[in-house]
Structure 1
Amino acid sequence: MHDDHHHSHGHHHDGDDHHHPHPPGHNGPAGKPLQWQTPHLPHDVLNEQPIDSRMVDIDLVETAFLEGFARAPDPSSFLRLAGIPFVGETADGLRLHLLRVETEDLVDVGAVMPLVGGAGVTYHPLPAKLTSHRRRLSFVYHDGTEQRHLGFAAARALADRSAAAQIDIAGH
């Protein structure tokens, strides 16, 4: 966050007693968001915005979903709370039924680089500080013919037809 922030006091201080102000969180943990907030706007303002408010900070929301879903005692309620439809409809009217939520942990530990001239690759194991931990989230829907894997944003973008589907199943 402040990688290029240097202090030149002319002499060395022990500890944290330099005498100029810093914003809150200046010495907080690196890489951790200090605040996660979406401004609350009146509904009429939201409806006039061309930007889809559901897409704001979608990566933070997806991370929060991953962490919460893994510990949720009631996964079905958690899905409803997160706005993931059990029965969704795409923009072109295709109805999808949610079968499964898949989470996958990925850890990158090596890299390959093409050799000059294109004759093969060279492999480099990554040092610990360059390894990356990622989690992949996928919602597996059935479209009547085959399974489709949707990401978090795509699943949330489906029109929710869950209530209508429950009526269909009940035979009304």
Structure 2
Amino acid sequence: MLATQFIDGFVQARDKAAYLRLAGVPFERPGAGGSTALKLVDVELRTEWQVGTAAPSFGSAELSYLPFPGPMVTERTNMSLVYVSMREKSLLDIRDFLSDRKQEFDR
């Protein structure tokens, strides 16, 4: 729910960079091994609709598939922060960022 609210706020914000700064989103992060700094260059929003579910079937190597009727189809928007350097690209899921921030506040 927090991620949904964060995404809605970002979409509505007139100054998106300021919104990210106020939220404590780092504009630079250490790269693999910490030798280079990754720079925040994109915020990726991706909308998906869950139209069914699949689960292991008892006694079968196939998945059991259950398509949803129209009213059960759900929409969700995911957000990733895209960081790059000359040698590396890293995506930080906003749910992971928010979870880490919550743990910092809980300490």
Report the TM-score, using the length of structure 1 for normalisation. 0.47
- Residue 106 of structure 1 pairs with residue 48 of structure 2: yes
Q: Which has the higher contact order (CA 8 A, sep 6+)?
A: 2
Q: 1:70 aligns to what?
A: 11
Q: Which amino acid aligns with 1:84?
A: V
Specify which of 59, 81, 86 is matched with residue 139 of structure 1. 81
Whole-Å separation in 1 of the counterparts to 2:86 and 2:96: 18
For structure 1, the residue ranges without an aligned partner over 5 or more in a row are 1-58, 158-172
Q: Counterparts of 1:18-167 in structure 2 under 5 Å?
A: 59-60=1-2, 62-89=3-30, 93-94=34-35, 95-152=37-94, 154-155=96-97
1:100 is displaced (CA, Å) by: 0.5
Larger fraction in strand: 2
Whole-Å separation in 2 of the counterparts to 1:119 and 1:96: 42
Query: Which protein has the larger Cα radius of gyration, Structure 1 or Structure 2?
Result: 1
Match of 2:90, SS state, is strand
Whole-Å separation in 2 of the counterparts to 1:141 and 1:76: 14
The number of equivalent residue pairs is 98
Give the RMSD, CA atoms, in angstroms: 2.7
1:153 is displaced (CA, Å) by: 5.6
Calculate percent identity across the aligned residue pairs.
34
Whole-Å separation in 1 of the counterparts to 2:53 and 2:60: 16
For structure 2, the residue ranges without an aligned partner over 5 or more in a row are 101-107
Alpha-carbon deviations, 1:107-138, whole Å to 9, x = none?
A: 11112233332242332211345433222110
